[in-house]
Homo-oligomer: A and B are copies of this chain.
Amino acid sequence: MIRLIFGFALILLNSLALSGQPEKPQQPNIILFLVDDMGWMDTSQPFGDSVMALNRKFHTPNMERMAREGLLFHQAYANPVCTPTRTTLISGMSAARTHITNWTSVTPGQPTDFKDDVLEAPRWNVSGLSTTNDPQTYSCGKPLPQLLKDAGYFTIHVGKAHWGSLGTRGSDPMNLGFVVNIAGSSLGHPQSYYGEQNFGNMPGKTTFNAVPDLQAYYGKDTFLTEALTQKAMAAMDFPIRNKNPFFLYLGHYAVHLPIQADRRYIDKYLAAGLDAREAGYASMIEGMDKSLGDIMDYLKAKGIEKNTVIIFMSDNGGLANTGRGGARNTQNLPLRAGKGSPYEGGIRIPMMIKWPGVTRPGTKTNTYVSAEDFYPTVLEIAGIRSPVRVDGKSYVPVLKDPAKTKNDRPLLFHYPNRWTANEDEGYAWSGAMRLGNWKIVYLMKQQKLELYDIEKDPGEQHDLSGSDPRKLKELARLWTRELKQRGAQMPRWKDSGKPVAWPDALAH
């Protein structure tokens, strides 16, 4: 009898427990710490196998700390320029598929391609990503933040958005699923990093690049990076206090042009003999690094460090074309070229992930990943099933076992556009594909294919297209198939009106 009553009481207790808060696995908080235009070498934390010359130029103690606490990717990739990477991050789709292959202007309907006498850019989605069927945008029905929000995540956007032009739904992060938006709009680089200059908001001088939402810092000596960091921490307050899982997309405007010294750090770089421009750049890097440290400290202070995933990455390679100090194309050495190019300097990015309990402290991986993989990865971390088939692939297995996975899928970098006046080093009309140790590069205007063994020759100095025509042909065929599968666009020859040939037409 007594046993019976005990049993009854236990059933009651069990049913009570079931009627309470559902016992679903805890959703971790997810932070994307996205730096703009930061190169693979712009840090004292080596992303190669050893400390190299440029690593000694920078001071990024918090990146070093994150590397000690998490997993570092030797070979992480993004698109050659910003909007394609950013739209890929929240759509999961390749730029070849979204047709957002170049950076978007604040002005809707306005292509940003540099004028060219020989080639004409395809009709790409010049206004960016949206959630409507606007013919000038890529229609992403359920962007990543929307899926996270639908699953109960408190989604925060702080900083640079740059998903769509003015007047499109995609210009407003709230239309893409963010609950909170601070300082994000159609603009791609800040009019000013200085609070003293109101971040560009100066009547008579204000352009569309003036950064919104930071009025409390106007007239103060707060650097933009610092202001955004403080706002990000303030925005995390509500979900932390209410035990709501959150997704923070902290898109720093730094270290995009204009190079403006972060006065907190400039002196040491000038003292080290850097010219004003490079010292300014290094100070912006260190300001960004301070932000990373502040965010990590904040998580610790709030007691949520152990349940928060931090993904650190850049949106493309470092600038090496114009606008930096020193000789052109030296800023990412040993990597070749820089932002805007499909050579490694333009697409290889610094990337680290810390997922306490999953990634192991101080580990590194040679598995390559691309910006397309971010979307399925975040969904898997959050326990959300993707509603669409995306081009990327979740790298959660790599996080769990960085040694196990293989580099056996093609990564595409498609840039059928012309970025700037310079046409050397792949800065115009170009593309690339990585597969295993191999990389094939297409210089469209020159109608030239190149082949590199990236493991042996990360600096892309030894073109093997002549010595290994079979490999070239094999890769060109695969690449062409992959491009066609994604519905990729090609530029057209102005004289004939015909599209540029697919890569396989050049490999015999």
Query: Size range of the interface on A?
Result: 35 or more
- A186 at the A/B interface (Cβ < 8 Å)? yes
CB distance from A153 to the nearest CB of B (A): 10
12-67 of chain A: CB within 8 A of chain B: 12-13, 16-17, 20-21
Residue of B whose beta carbon sits closest to that of A244: B242
Looking at A169, A213, A219, the one whose CB has the most chain B CB atoms below 10 A away is A213
- A108 at the A/B interface (Cβ < 8 Å)? yes
Could you tell me the distance between the alpha carbons of A198 and B166 in the complex, rounded to whole angstroms? Answer: 9
CB distance from A73 to the nearest CB of B (A): 33
A134-174 vs B, CB cutoff 8 Å, 1 = contact: the mask equals 00000000000000010010100000000000111111101
Whether A213 lies near B212 (C-beta < 8 A) is: yes
Could you tell me the distance between the alpha carbons of A16 and B207 in the complex, rounded to whole angstroms? Answer: 59
- A273 at the A/B interface (Cβ < 8 Å)? no
- A83 at the A/B interface (Cβ < 8 Å)? no
194-237 of chain A: CB within 8 A of chain B: 198, 201, 203-204, 206-208, 210, 212-220, 231, 234-235
Could you tell me the distance between the alpha carbons of A116 and B315 in the complex, rounded to whole angstroms? Answer: 58
CB distance from A376 to the nearest CB of B (A): 24
- Residues of B contacting A166 in the complex (Cβ-Cβ under 8 angstroms): 198, 215, 218-219
User: When the two chains form the complex, which single residue of B185, B186, B217 contacts A167, counting CB atoms closer than 8 Å?
Assistant: B217
CB distance from A221 to the nearest CB of B (A): 11
- A420 at the A/B interface (Cβ < 8 Å)? no
Whether B174 lies near A234 (C-beta < 8 A) is: yes
Residue of B whose beta carbon sits closest to that of A106: B215
CB distance from A91 to the nearest CB of B (A): 18
- If A2-B5, A219-B166 touch, whether A238 touches B171 (CB-CB below 8 Å) is no
Could you tell me the distance between the alpha carbons of A382 and B12 in the complex, rounded to whole angstroms? Answer: 34
Whether A175 lies near B219 (C-beta < 8 A) is: no
Nearest 6 interchain pairs by C-beta? A9-B9, A206-B206, A172-B216, A171-B215, A167-B219, A166-B218
Residues of A at the B interface (CB closer than 8 Å) are: 1-2, 5-6, 8-9, 12-13, 16-17, 20-21, 108, 149, 152, 154, 166-172, 174-175, 179-182, 185-186, 198, 201, 203-204, 206-208, 210, 212-220, 231, 234-235, 238, 242, 244
Apart from A5-B6, A16-B17, 8 more pairs, CB < 8 Å = A8-B9, A12-B13, A20-B20, A174-B235, A179-B235, A180-B180, A185-B215, A204-B204
